[in-house]
Amino acid sequence: MRFGLFGGAQSSRDDPAKGYHAYLDFLLEAEALSYHGCFLTEHHFTGWGQVSAPLHMLTWLAARTTTLRLGTAVMVLAWHNPILLAEQAATVDVLSGGRLDLGVGRGYRHNEFAGFAMDDAEADARFEESLAVMTQAWTAPERFSHHGRFWRFDEIILEPPPLQRPHPPIWVSAGRDASIMRAAERGHHLLLDQFTPIPVIGARLALYREAVLRSGRVFDPMSVAVARDVCLTDDVPDALRRRALGHQRMIDAARTPGRDGGSHILAWADRPEARTEAALYGSAEDIAQKVAALRAVGVQYVLANILGGDRGTLRALPLLGSDGGHIA
């Protein structure tokens, strides 16, 4: 089993650099501890200092690391010019020696779409068109043109081409069966969220694996990453209370006024017990047992969202995920 990190820095208006550098140092230690990769989130207009430009942070990280995979989870395609984003992603891939894992998505926070003066009802259509344009830009051997609903480009060619061929791995978050099978059919890698119970994780992983095999490709267990909230602690109730505050902010940001449904995040809005059951919180033995349960349903890649950037948890997790399940 391999481990990575999921999340991002948190800055403040008084000292915007402090939180960024603290998190980047956290990622440097993760590489030294043989973590496989990191996935940085993209968010805007939160008021609590979340990362808004993950590719820029990954460029800095690329210069300071040699083995850590550099991921986004996720870049919301609706908010970006797809050619500029394709160029920026390719640049990170080139400078990192081919270590970019590009997570992309439709977006789920109403306040972000509103802040960009964009109709979130267009999110799916914008996602599909932008991803098609980016894929063509990465793979086209010659200049091409695109005339679509949202974007128009004439006689363009991508510079630089990405180092990974045909392009960096595309990771998508999916929870519904149709979305999971579509990801497999398209050759995309799969991100599974931190709230889903372990038996459901196993079912979704199996569905994805079967769809990959039906498409004629070889299934790689490392093409599925499962996010989990993680904290090694003797005071689980306190840790869960702290994490619940973050969960509630996510839920509040995802709600669209006057509209029911929407983001998969909202599926957990009225089920706080389900949110906490999935968390890897507790003693070393507790965490080792939950990691073993994930392994038993086929999970090979866990992305840890470590509460408070706790260094003790960071250092312990790879040992807890070993076959022995203990800290040396």
How far is it, in rounded angstroms, from Cα 328 to Cα 251? Answer: 38
Question: What is the three-class DSSP state of 164?
Answer: coil
How far is it, in rounded angstroms, from Cα 71 to Cα 89? Answer: 10
Q: Are 303 and 5 in contact (CB under 8 A)?
A: yes
How far is it, in rounded angstroms, from Cα 158 to Cα 15? Answer: 37
User: Token pair 């391999």 is at which residue?
Assistant: 2
10: which strand partners? 50
How far is it, in rounded angstroms, from Cα 188 to Cα 223? Answer: 8
How far is it, in rounded angstroms, from Cα 116 to Cα 107? Answer: 12
How far is it, in rounded angstroms, from Cα 1 to Cα 222? Answer: 9
Task: Kindly list the domain boundaries of the chain, sorted by start residue.
Answer: 2-320
Cα–Cα distances in angstroms (integers) from residue 223 to residues 49, 66, 80, 191, in the given order: 30, 21, 25, 9
Residue 253 is predicted with a pLDDT of 64
CA atoms within 13 A on the CB side of 175: 15
User: ∠ CA 100-221-132 to the nearest 5 degrees?
Assistant: 45
Neighbours of 209 (CB within 10 A): 18
For residue 254, give the H/E element and its range.
helix 236-254
Amino acid in position 270:
D
How far is it, in rounded angstroms, from Cα 318 to Cα 324? Answer: 11
Sign of the torsion angle spanned by Cα atoms 30, 47, 248, 194:
negative
* Per-residue pLDDT tens listing for the chain (328 residues): 999 999 999 888 899 999 999 999 999 999 999 999 999 999 999 888 889 999 999 999 999 999 999 999 999 999 999 999 999 999 999 999 999 999 999 998 888 999 999 999 999 999 999 999 999 999 999 999 999 999 999 999 999 999 999 999 999 999 899 999 999 999 999 999 998 999 999 999 999 999 999 999 999 999 999 999 999 999 988 888 887 777 666 666 666 666 554 555 555 555 656 567 899 999 999 999 999 999 999 999 999 999 989 999 999 999 988 654 443 3
Residue 324 is predicted with a pLDDT of 45
Residue 106 is predicted with a pLDDT of 94
Neighbours of 259 (CB within 10 A): 10
Q: What is the pTM of this model?
A: 0.92
What string of DSSP letters covers 177-227? Answer: HHHHHHHHHHT-EEEE-SSS-HHHHHHHHHHHHHHHHHTTPPP-GGGEEEE
B/e letters for 115-135, b = 16+ CB within 10 Å, e = fewer, are eeeeebeebeebbebbbebbb
Residue 58 is predicted with a pLDDT of 98
Looking at 3.40.50.300, 3.50.50.60, 3.40.640.10, 3.20.20.30, the CATH number of the domain 2-320 comes to 3.20.20.30
